[in-house]
Structure 1
Amino acid sequence: MSGVSLATGHRSDLAHTTTTTAPDMKSDQKSWPDQQRHQSAAAQAAGGGVMGSLRIIELQLVAFIMVFSASGLVPLLDILYPAFTTAYLIGLAQFAFPSHHKRLGADSNAASQEIFHGSRMFRFYVILGTTVGLFLPLAYVLGGFARGDEHAVRSATPHLFLLSCQILTENVISGLSLFSPPVRALVPLLYTVRRIFVIIDWINDVWINKALPANADIRDVIWFWFGRGLAVGNFAYFSINLFCFLIPRFLPRAFERYFMARDEVHSKMEEDKRSAAMNKAEKQDKKSN
């Protein structure tokens, strides 16, 4: 949600693990080719497990998106926003920030997948955002269905819809080399900006348009303040996420990686030109002799 699938480099971490542990296995009785085959198989198995998990998550998110879209609880503007964002990202990937993976090769591209390497505190921050932004609002919506509180369901559903679209988009483009780091970093940025306005509407609904009955029991009071606190908590978290992480740290890091890769491509092209010119000069010298 804060660029989690883009900020953590699962593929590069896996490659780094397999390459750094290989020299430590020299004392094993297996030959080096056997060790390489064994590590390759282990890497494929681990990668298959990760990709399998992502497939399950993506299918669940697609189910959420379809249910939310068909329920009539999501405004038309929020339904159209993911389509506009996807088209805009594809346009950026084609014309503004094309990927350099073809010229850099597979190894360099794998290394460039990781935009931001987070610490343990950052991972705790991500888990907190997942809880506040996804799990608790989902529980709030399901509880609203169970309690017959249509107002609560209608208030929180647009946020969940956009968040599901964001996570699905992040999971999909993180595995496609077509999208460069700046384009991938813009996914959480664009969705977070829109969701902040949606959360403001959510706060307006639960704080202004909804009142607690005078004869409410303790469970209704707890539910009422849970909805208010959840809306404010989401607004606080994603505002901090936008202005303190995505804009000042995540987006500049993505552009830094992108321009470093572009400079590497340019240097390789210059080297290729020089080597081609030297080879041509050598051939002319040989013909003249």
Structure 2
Amino acid sequence: MSGGIGPTTKDIAVPSEGSGGDTIAIPEHHPHHRFLSLRQLNTLAVSIVLAASGMVAAGDIIIVFSSLPYIIFLSRYAFPPLHPSQSVEPPIFGAGNRLIAVYVAIGALLGLLLPIAYIFEGIMEGDKEGIKAAVPHVFLLASQVFMEGVTFSHHFSLPIRAFVPISFNALRMFTLIDWVMVELNKEAIAGGEQWSALRLLVGKGLAVANFVFWAFNLFGFLLPVYLPRALKRHYGDKEK
């Protein structure tokens, strides 16, 4: 997940086999490889199912659907690839970076796997409030992973690959704030005592942990570290 959860910059994506890429997920995609990886198809399926559940705001769905034509527009007129007919530009952080690999794995676990498990367990306990609060974050993160995979191609430059996790991460901060507020106030909701003490504790911990992790990812890594390096390399190579 480079920036989010997919193969792009530095967010949060499960590292692909043999990759240690750019951030949280930077699979070794090559121009002649299949367009969609199994991970991308899985995250696309998650996004579709959650969008169809009725628990995702129409505005978030519109943003996701409009993101692809927008990044194509940016790639053509603002940040065109330097070598569109050649191989994918190498990631900012070289393959084999163990710290990045661990960071990406934590992001994938904390941002996708645990929230999905929390949603399924909430269906069993009838925790509609907790499910509705967690779904938008998971939807946007799954969509981010998919879009990061799309941009990890020779058709897109490094600034475009940085734009996806940064924009999606920024958007998810609002959904994470909503999730945290719902979990912290859940006991005050009428009938809140019907939920187990363990679920109340897990819900608060998961929501707060995601907010802290993704806030750091955006303001401590993507903006001050990854984006400047991506732009520096892009314009440095352009001047050669």
Q: Same fold (TM over 0.5)?
A: yes
Kept after mapping to 2: 8 A contact 1:134/1:163: yes
Q: 1:53 to 1:131 in 2, by over 3 A?
A: farther
Tell me if 1:189 matches 2:171.
no
Alpha-carbon contact 1:212-1:224 (below 8 Å) kept: no
Corresponding position of 1:135:
113
Q: What's the CA shift for 1:213?
A: 7.9
Letter in 1 for 2:93: F
Q: Does 1:166 align with 2:130?
A: no
Which residue does 1:156 correspond to in 2?
Answer: 134
| Distance (whole Å) between structure 2 residues aligned to residue 121 and residue 212 of structure 1 | 41
Report SS of the residue matched to 1:5: coil
Q: CA deviation at 1:88?
A: 2.3
Aligned twin of 1:6: 8
Q: Which amino acid aligns with 1:246?
A: L
Counting aligned pairs with the same residue, the percent is: 33
Q: Matches of 1:5 and 1:238 in 2, distance apart?
A: 16
* Change in CA separation of 1:169 and 1:157 when aligned onto 2, cut-off 3 Å: same
Which of 25, 33, 45 does residue 63 from structure 1 map onto? 45
Please give the TM-score of this superposition, normalised by the length of structure 2: 0.82
Q: Is the 8 A contact 1:12 1:114 kept in 2?
A: no
Distance in 1, matches of 2:81 and 2:170, equals: 25
Residue 152 of structure 1, CA deviation: 1.3
Q: Within the alignment, does 1:100 sit opposite 2:94 as a pair?
A: no
More helix by share: 1
Distance 1:172 1:131, change over 3 A: same
Residue in 2 that maps onto 1:228: 204
One-letter code of the match for 1:116? F
- TM-superposed deviation, 1:158: 0.4
What is the CA-CA distance between 1:115 and the residue it aligns to? 2.3
Q: Which residue of 1 aligns with 2:25?
A: none
Alpha-carbon distance change, 11 to 113 in structure 1, aligned in 2, over 3 angstroms: farther
Aligned residues: 224
Distance, in Å, in 2 between the alignment partners of 1:215 and 1:204 is: 14
Q: Counterpart amino acid of 2:67? A: T
Q: TM-score scaled to structure 1, two decimals?
A: 0.69
Q: Which residue of 1 aligns with 2:100?
A: 122
* Residue segments in structure 1 that go unaligned for 5+ positions in a row: 15-45, 265-289
State the distance in 2 between where 1:47 and 1:163 align: 20
**Alpha-carbon distance in structure 2 between the residues aligned to 1:94 and 1:245:** 27
Aligned match of 2:222 in 246, 253, 263?
Answer: 246
Q: How many angstroms apart in 1 are the aligned matches of 2:189 and 2:40?
A: 38
- 1:144 matched to 2:126? The reply is no
